[in-house]
Every structure is written in structure tokens, then in C-alpha cells.
Amino acid sequence: MSALPGSSKFSHLPRATSGPLVCPYEGRDVLQSSQFNKGSAFTEEERRSFKLHGLLPPNIQTLEEQVQRAYEQYSSRDNDLAKNTFMASMKVQNEVLYYKLIDTHLKEMLSIIYTPTEGDAIQNYSRLFRKPEGCFLNIRDQDRIEECLSNFGGGEEVDYIVVSDGEEILGIGDQGVGAILISVAKLALTTLCAGIHPARQLPVVLDCGTDNESLLKDELYLGLRQSRARGKEYDQFVENFVATARKMFPRAYIHFEDFGLHNAKRILEKFQPHVPCFNDDIQGTGCVTLAALLSGFHVSDVKLEDVRVVIFGSGSAGTGIAEQLADTIATETDKSKEEASKQIWCLDKPGLLLKSLGDQLTPAQVPYARDDDDWPGEGPPDLLSVVKKVKPHALIGTSTKPKSFTEDVIREMAKHVEQPIVFPLSNPTRLHEAQPEDINQWTDGRALIATGSPFPPVDRNGVKYKIAECNNSTCFPGIGLGAVLSRTRTISNKMLVGAVKALAARSPALQDPNGPLLPDVGDVRELSIDIAKAIIKTAVKEGSAEEEGIPTDEDELDEWIRAQMWEPVYRPLVKPQ
């Protein structure tokens, strides 16, 4: 991130990040606001104007000096969870310093503030709890939803909402009220990666109870101590939340996160036609994985109309990937969606999805269920049997079943394709279907690999081969940025296709066959701008953009986007007029 932006023809826009910042507080109240607190970096004029003398040590420091001290404190923590807790504490004290520290050490810290360490923090939420952050809504108190949301402003004060019900968190399952932390973490990524204003965000948890017995028995658990509510009561709760959020924040973009398998897709499909909303587990995972697949198909010289893909794990993420891939095959090859779906084989806990499973199939799984006559035998085939028969070009894991991509499975795959595309994507790291080093060894260095968490490079004939990370943070923040700035009424499939193409276009593998399939997360701000452009252009073309004055010139559109991206710099504080 750069220094404070200079003058721009778009500096007058409400989200423009240049110029002074109006602060309504003084004295200790300023220091207690993470938005306005500068700690030791308040200027002499600000200390005098906001009555801060005597509340701070006299030496005035720069943001860079504060980052140096904060990094030393961070490094002194002896484990990742302690580092995560340190960062969470900093975030509620000084948001500029928090984001500047992470940006300075982005690749090192991303796995601390997000997956896999955030999963450990969520599991320990009630035991590590210090200060609440976000909005806590519970199903037993639905009459107060509007009252609760009103604590966070109204009208145009909120751009981006992340909401979770906590049923399927980061591969660790039902975490109840601890889901507030995944909402907080996702929003932090939108700020880091796409410049969404932290003061214009709202993390929400819908507490419906939990079926996690260990939480229910924990005397320190902070959520509703009841089994998870389902059926009409649950549906009404979600409906009430969305309706109230739309009423209070009519232009806010709603991001659904970590909803359960039986709810995620149907909730998205219910609101998608008339609300600007997005499900990262379905659409975000699908987009970033598809971008990596397109790069892999390019390197291995496999045409979309011929590709065969096996997906192991048919929950929200797996079926989301299947859906995005089928849409793309259909669009690019003039095949029907049904024909495109026949190039994808999906497995779940019972094995290959077969039509005979009937009611055991979720609505998202039905399009990918195969005819039983094509798979004679007792029960659904297992992964090795499917690989032997299908001879897939690509194998994708979203199962949260560790070590399920065995040596037999990978070697069988490598017998039939020159460059096997293997993506073990389950998070956190301990749930990965295979280790990249093993996949590399079992394919004699021929595999094209992408993972769901960061892994070190592997040795390939004396050369270090970088492992691409299918990290949703390279995709969903840019989609959100484009949606927020364009004020699109909905998120269309064509917008998502544009986002995929923008991400795939930056793949290092397109220039170097030995390069990773996806760009480095260190380039994420520029990636987000490219993706936001694709979203905005499509929204304008489809007539869905409600924002006025969106530039049509490419360079002006770039400047218009950049001028509205928040950056972690200390702006001069001034008192209200």
C-alpha cells in the first residue's frame, strides 16, 4: 500500500481517502476509538486540539516506527494462536497500525489473521474473549434485530456486511457464536486486499444455537445454549435479518459465509435475484479454483470441451466449484449446462454421487449424480475406482478428509494424463487431502498443484516449483469492491465469469509453464482492482449499476477505483465545524 493518496479529480467522492478526517471526540474518547487513535503518532497540534496532553508519552513517532515496535511485540509471541490474539487486540485499539503492520508483512501474517490460525481462534472464542466486535443477533430475540443493527449507523454508513450462522466454519464444523470471528476476519481481508473502508463494514453472527456438544457443555460458552434451530424458525430468522439489513442499509452488499450444506445454496438462490449478495464458500471458492483450473488446462494443453474433472467432497465448496466449471464449459463450448455437467464427477461421504441416493442428495448435488447403470456393483464407487475409470485431468479435494489423496490414487491418475492437475483445498492445513511434496513425488514432478493454504515450494529436477494457493482472498475482495463502488443491484453469473477471467489473466503460468497457476497474494491489491473493473463494467453493461458518474475511460475508471480504496495511513484529524 502506498502513502496517503495525493490530489485526484475524484477526491470529492464520499469514500475518497485523502484529506483531513473529522473526529467528533476528544481526550480519552479519542484514544479509545480504533478509527481515530494514533497512539504515539498524534502531532503536537492534534494533542493540543483534542486535549491529549498528559494522556500520552511526549515523544511523537511515525507510523513506520510504530510498525517496527509492533512487529517486535508480535514476533515475541511463542505460537500462532498467541500471535492471532495479539493482532485481534491491536485491531480494536488502532486500526491503521493493525492494517499497516499486516500489509508490511502480508505473506507472513495472512495465515495468522485468517486460515489456518483463525480456525483455532474461533474454536477457542469463548475462552479467549476480551472485547466484543460486530453485531450478535440471536434467534430467540428476533424482535430486536432492528434495534441491534441501529447501533452501527444507518443509511449509507455501511457498505459491506459479512454474516455467518456458524454451522460450517473453516472445515472445523459448527462453532456457534464463535462465527463472529469469521465475519470479522473476512472483512479485515476486504480492507487489506481491496481497500474496503473498515468504518463502513459490519460483521454479523446469526446465533441459532449449536449442535456442537463440546460447546454446549462448556460453562464458558458465550452463545445460545441450545440445539441448532432449523426449519421455518430458522428461515424466518434469516429472512428477518436480510429484510431489516436492506431496510437500514439499503445499498449494502451482503456476503454470506460458512452456512451449512443444506442452507448455503438455497439461501443464496432465494436472495440472489433481488439483493446484491454473495456466498464465498460457493461462489468465491468456485471462482478462484476455476481460475487455477483454466491456467492448468492452458499449461497442460487440455481443451475445455474434453476436460474430465473429479471433485472429492460435495459440500458447498465442492458443488460451487462444479457449478462454476459447468457454467464456464457451457459458455465457452456452446454445450448445454447438462452436457457440461457430465464432464464432472462428484464424490461425497457415500462415494460417487449416484441417482439412486435419492433424498440423500442435496439440491446442489443432484445435477452431478450419475446413472447407476454406468457404475454396476454394490454401492457407490470409492475415489480410487472413479479415478481408474474416469482418468481425470484434474482432481479437486474439498472433503476435509486428511490424506484421502493416497499414493495409489495419485499414481493411478498420473498413468493416464501427462500433467495431472491436483488441488487439495481443504482447510485448515491439517485437513488437506495430500501434501504437495508427496503429490510431486508420486507424479515424478509432473503434477500441477494448487492448495487451500500456503505451502513451501517443492523440488522439481533441481528447481523450486512454487505451489499456487487457491486463496479466496485473491478474488472475493475485488468482487465486493466492484459491487460496492458500482452499487450493483445484484451479482450476476456474467460478473463472476469476468472476475475469473481477470484473475486467470494474471497467472504466472501463462508466461512460464513452470510458474504457479495463480498470482501471488502479495499482488492482491492490483488483482482486486482488475476484478473490480470487470464487475463494474459488467454491471454497467447489464444496467444493474446504480452509482452515477462511473467513468467509461479505462484510465479514469482505474483512478476512480483507486481514489476510493482505503489505505492504512494517518490522516490529519480535525474537529467538526
| Residue numbers annotated as active site | 114, 186
DSSP E strand boundaries for 280-369: 309-312, 344-348, 351-352
**Cis peptide leading into 116, omega within 30 of 0?**
yes
In three-state secondary structure terms, 452 is coil
Q: Which grid cell sits at 459?
A: 523440488
Give the residue from 343, 359, 353, 361 showing the smallest Cα distance to 379: 353
Rounded-to-integer distance, Cα 182 and Cα 169, Å: 8
Give the residue from 416, 436, 415 showing the smallest Cα distance to 425: 436
For residue 370, give the DSSP letter. B
* Binding positions for a divalent metal cation: 257-258, 281
For residue 548, give the DSSP letter. S
Rounded-to-integer distance, Cα 480 and Cα 524, Å: 14
Length of the chain: 577
Contacts 24+ apart (CB under 8 A), 546-552: 546/251, 546/486, 546/487, 546/488, 546/489, 547/485, 547/486, 547/487, 550/485, 550/486
Print the SS3 string covering 374-385. HCCCCCCCCHHH
How many C-beta atoms lie closer than 10 Å to residue 526's C-beta? 12
* Binding positions: 257-258, 281, 427, 471
Contacts 24+ apart (CB under 8 A), 147-152: 149/202, 149/244, 149/245, 149/248, 149/249, 150/248, 152/202
Rounded-to-integer distance, Cα 161 and Cα 157, Å: 11
Grid cell 464424490 in the structure block, residue: 347
User: Distances in Å between the alpha carbon of 450 and those of 221, 252, 422, 455, 531?
Assistant: 37, 33, 7, 9, 21
Q: Which grid cell sits at 228?
A: 441448532
Rounded-to-integer distance, Cα 380 and Cα 519, Å: 37
Rounded-to-integer distance, Cα 357 and Cα 28, Å: 63
Rounded-to-integer distance, Cα 194 and Cα 201, Å: 13
* Binding positions for (S)-malate: 427, 471
Interior/surface letters 451-474, b for 16+ CB within 10 angstroms, e for the rest: bbbbbeebeeeeeebbbbbbbbbb
Q: Which grid cell sits at 480?
A: 465486493
